[in-house]
Amino acid sequence: MAKYIGKRLVYMLLSLWMIVTATFFFMRIAPGNPFASEKKLPPEIEANLNAHFGLDKPWYEQYWEYLVRIVNWDFGPSFKYKSQTVNDLINEGFPVSFLLGMEAIFIAVAVGVLLGIIAALKHNRWPDYTAMIVAVLGISVPSFIMASFLQYFLAIKMGIFPVARWESFMHSVLPAVALASAPMAFIARLTRSSMLEVLANDYIKTAKSKGLSRGVITVKHTIRNALLPVVTYMGPLTAGILTGSFVIERIFGIPGLGAHFVTSINNRDYTVIMGVTVFYSILLLVSILLVDIAYGIIDPRIKLAGGKKGE
């Protein structure tokens, strides 16, 4: 196990280095610079700024400096937001996105799994169709439409929730639901199909013939096995949702991390682009590793070390 994790960590560092390198070069190839604006700067000032931020150095020096910065976890100042460093942006934005994301994941998993189970157990009867129609809507309605829809009906028309902003728990409900709707639908469909598959297995018949109660069969034998694909999906989902959604955060005016992924690129805010990319990559890589470890716990058939086959 330890050997396996060690090996995975080495691969993670390697992937991270590749991501950082690719980002660095793509970002520099893109035309434009952080100081471009409709009102052009006098050339002397622009040269001065380039020198200050080290943009006049040869690319390999800048590249090396970036690597050193990442290792030290100090991404430097933002080009655009002069009152904050990139570390500030991440430290302030991430907890907000994290909280919202956890709420959304909770909704997505709880409702999604529940819908999937109901649909599978009542296969081809009305609860199945209802659950699946909800799921199709959840997947096919884009999140920004879902968001505006929720705002219009639940906030403006019914006045149950505030329209936007990030102040209290009530403020977080609508964005969390909007954020959760697509993954919730996806999870519902995943759970349903894998439940159906598992229900057709011989060991379920065996369990039935042993005289086990329906509840025990469902909980102990079916759900546990049927959740494997859901767990797989949880890795990228967690990383994606926890780092915030640009669209949802924008519509609900939430001061999370999501906005920086897009605006930093528009602003050519090099340090922020690098910072959020590295941060996101680490989160993604770690959550994928956690998922792989979780496999072994849920399904004893999967051996992480995989040494038996004699590689």
Partner 1 sequence: MNKRLSIFFSMLLVLSMFLAACSGGGDNADGGEKGGDDGGKSDVPQELRVNINTEPPSLNPGLAQDSTSGTVLRNVLEGLTRIGPDGKPEKAMAEDIKVSEDGKTYTFTIRDAKWSNDDPVTAKDFEYAWKWALDPANNSTYAYQLYYIEGAEAFNTGKGEKDAVGVKAIDDKTLEVKLVNPTPYFEELTAFYTYLPVNSKIAEANPKWATDAGENFTTNGPFHMVEWSHSDKIVLEKSKTYWDAETVKLDSIEMVMINDPNTELSMFDNGELDWAGAPTGALPTDAMQALKDEGRLVTQPIAGIYNYKFNTTVEPFNNVNIRKAFAHAINRQELIDNILQGEQLPAMAIVPPSMFEENEKGYFPDNDVEKAKEYLQKGLEELGYKDASELPAVALSYNTSEAHQKIAQAIQDMWKQNLGVEVTLDNAEWNVYLDKLDQMDYQVARLGWLGDFNDAINFLEMYRDADGGNNNTGWESKEFQDLLAKSATETDPEARQQLLKDAEAIFMEAMPVAPIYFYTNNWVQAENLKDVAVSGLGDVQYKWAHFE
Q: What type of residue sits at position 272?
A: V
* Helical segments of 212-301, H only: 214-216, 224-226, 228-242, 246-251, 258-266, 270-298
Q: Which of residues 249-308 bind partner 1 (CB under 8 A)?
A: 250-253, 255, 259, 266, 268
Nearer to partner 1, 178 or 227 (CB): 178
The three-class DSSP label of residue 162 is coil
Handedness of CA 121, 122, 127, 128 (dihedral sign): positive
Let me know: does 190 contact 263? Beta carbons within 8 Å: no
Q: Is 84 in the site for partner 1 (CB under 8 A)?
A: yes
Out of 59, 73, 153, 203, the residue judged to bind partner 1 by CB under 8 A: 153
Q: Count interface residues toward partner 1 (CB under 8 A).
A: 59
Rounded to a whole number of angstroms, the minimum distance from the CB of residue 270 to partner 1 is: 12
80 binds partner 1 (CB under 8 A): yes
Q: Select the residue interacting with partner 1 from 1, 5, 22, 36 (CB under 8 A).
A: 36
Tell me the H-state helices in 30-156: 43-52, 59-71, 86-121, 126-140, 143-150
* Residue 145 in the binding site for partner 1 (CB under 8 A): no
CA distance 111 to 130: 13
Query: Least distance (Å) from partner 1 to the CB of residue 14?
Result: 31
130 binds partner 1 (CB under 8 A): yes
Q: How far is CA 83 from the centre of its chain?
A: 28
Contacts with partner 1, residue ranges (CB under 8 A): 30-33, 35-45, 48-49, 52, 80-84, 88-89, 92-93, 124-127, 129-130, 133-134, 137, 148, 151-159, 162-166, 250-253, 255, 259, 266, 268
